[in-house]
Amino acid sequence: MNILLKSATIVDPSNKDYHLKKRDIHIKNGIIENIAPKLDIQNNVTIIDHKNLHVSIGWFDTGVSFGEPGYEERETIANGLYTAGSSGFTDIVLNPNTNPVPDSSSDIIFLKNAAKSSAVNLHPLGTLTMKSEGECLAELYDMKNAGAVGFYDYKRPINNSNLVKIALQYAHNFNGLVQSFPMDRQIAGKGIVNEGEVSTKLGLKGIPNLAEELNLARDLFILEYTGGRLHLPTISTAKSVSLIAEAKKKGLDVSCSVAIHNLCFTDESLVGFDSMFKLMPPLRTKKDSKALVKGLKDGVIDFVTTDHRPMDIELKRVEFDNASNGTIGLESAFGTLNTIFNLETTISLLTKGRERYGIPIPVLKVGEKATLTLFDPEIEYIFTEDHIRSSSKNSTFLGRKMKGKALGIIGNDQLIH
């Protein structure tokens, strides 16, 4: 591969030599050969010369679901990775949301092998418990050695507090990352949306904020007792932010993420009973979404995630009560974040998180492997199905105005553009 990026504005706040400067970038055989104000390369070079081309180190998502194995009709690994690449992501953490779930080293090896020829790096999570049933720990150490970057029963709370304790103690021995979905099943009951004024008006059963906060507080108390490394994915309430802030002040090794849709939508979106807005955790109030945005700006919330979850139309085009939870989010991630935050903050959010999962951080300089995202931060457009590369089209962002668009990636000596 021989590529020349022309007049690319480099967005890399950690790199004072190049940050916000326009440069030509020559990439050969997957390595950054040269960075200069003007380069003239001949010999079969692919030139990328976009009017407002910007480049950063490759974007990273801490929580993506596909379907394969078991739910290939929702999404295959191959098309899912292509979707991630065309959306600007060079690395994704894959949720264990398949059938069967990956609860052994052979399952992790299968996922790694299925992605080894892709431009996008796939980093699988293994389940925390066997079959994600919440009863017995899975083969955590073996899965870690096979390439699992953490352990998580996707969207399934661990009811057994002692199991969380044992998991943290055991994984601590090999620096494993335990993920726990913060939701108390008993408090949540049969709720499907946020409990509040909107759920009462619509006659829908609600899930109170307490359901999340109670479980989250429990896990933080356990972490304080055991030590170890804990990640709390997709928090959704203002109180959760403050609880995590207190835990970090104590020095606990805890991180958390928030789904992009919880930043920009509230439970008021449910008024039309559109099942695209049926999500888990549910969309909360404006007060909660404001607290989540502030938590990101303050650094209390560590990462954003698309929480990309493809669902075929049969699971969404039914009565609201019976519809499945989830939205895709890879294709809309940059355009949404770039309307909420300034460009530097947006790129910072999209490139954070690798160190938490033990993944090498790309470096944008001569002699380094090229792991880059190409984008235009100024394009404005309405997000439609034409922008969706996923096999499933279940997006909460359809019809939303976007600012900024990913143009592709360079990764593993390949170009998606």
284 and 391 housed in the same domain: no
Q: 176 near 144, Cβ under 8 Å?
A: yes
Please tell me the predicted confidence (pLDDT) of residue 61. Answer: 98
Q: Tens of pLDDT along 132-147?
A: 999 999 999 999 999 9
Whose tokens are 């899965």? That residue is 143
Burial (0-12, 13-18, 19+ Cβ within 10 Å), 339:
middle
Do residue 33 and residue 89 come from a single domain? no
Could you tell me if 349 and 298 are in contact, meaning their C-beta atoms sit under 8 angstroms apart?
A: no
Question: Does residue 278 share a domain with residue 137?
Answer: yes
Stated as kind and residue range, the H or E segment containing 202 is helix 197-202
Final residue in a domain of this structure, among 321, 339, 357: 357
Q: What is the average pLDDT value for the chain, to the nearest integer?
A: 97
With H, G, I as helix, E, B as strand and everything else as coil, classify residue 67: coil
> Could you tell me the residue range of the domain that residue 213 belongs to?
59-357
67, 199: one domain: yes
Residue 1 has pLDDT above 90, yes or no: no
- The CATH number given to whatever domain includes residue 295 is 3.20.20.140
Of 18, 28, 112, 7, the C-alpha closest to 57 is 18
On whether both 314 and 411 belong to a single domain, the answer is no
- Whether 91 and 124 map to the same domain: the answer is yes
Which residue of the set 274, 307, 321, 413 is catalytic?
307
- The per-residue pLDDT for range 181-210, each reduced to its tens digit, is 999 999 999 999 999 999 999 999 999 999
Q: 67 and 102, same structural domain? A: yes
Q: Comparing 38-52, 94-108, 165-179, 399-413, which segment has the lowest mean pLDDT?
A: 38-52
Residue 41 pLDDT more than 90? Answer: no
pLDDT band at 43 (very low <50, low <70, confident <90, very high): confident
pLDDT of residue 42: 81
42 plus 68 within the same structural domain: no
Spatial contact of 407 and 377, defined as CB atoms under 8 Å apart: no
Is 130 found in the same domain as 202?
yes
Residue 60 sits at φ, ψ, to 5 deg, of -140, 135
3-state secondary structure at position 77: helix
- Joined together, the tokens standing for residue 94 give 């894959």
Is 25 in the same domain as 163? no
Residue 377: which CATH number?
A: 2.30.40.10
Q: CB of 197 within 8 A of CB of 172?
A: no
> Do 199 and 278 sit in the same domain of this protein?
yes
Among this protein's residues, is 17 annotated catalytic? no
Q: Which of 357, 379, 402 is the last residue of a domain?
A: 357
167 and 268 part of one domain: yes
Residue 246 belongs to what H/E stretch?
helix 238-249
Residue where a domain terminates, one of 357, 378, 400 = 357
pLDDT score for 275: 95
Number of domains in the chain: 2
Q: In this predicted model, what pLDDT tens digit does every residue of 277-306 receive, in sequence order?
A: 999 999 999 999 999 999 999 999 999 999
pLDDT tens for 263-274 read 999 999 999 999
Distance, CA of 319 to CA of 142 (rounded, Å): 42
Percent of residues, the chain, with pLDDT higher than 70 = 100
pLDDT the model gives residue 214:
98
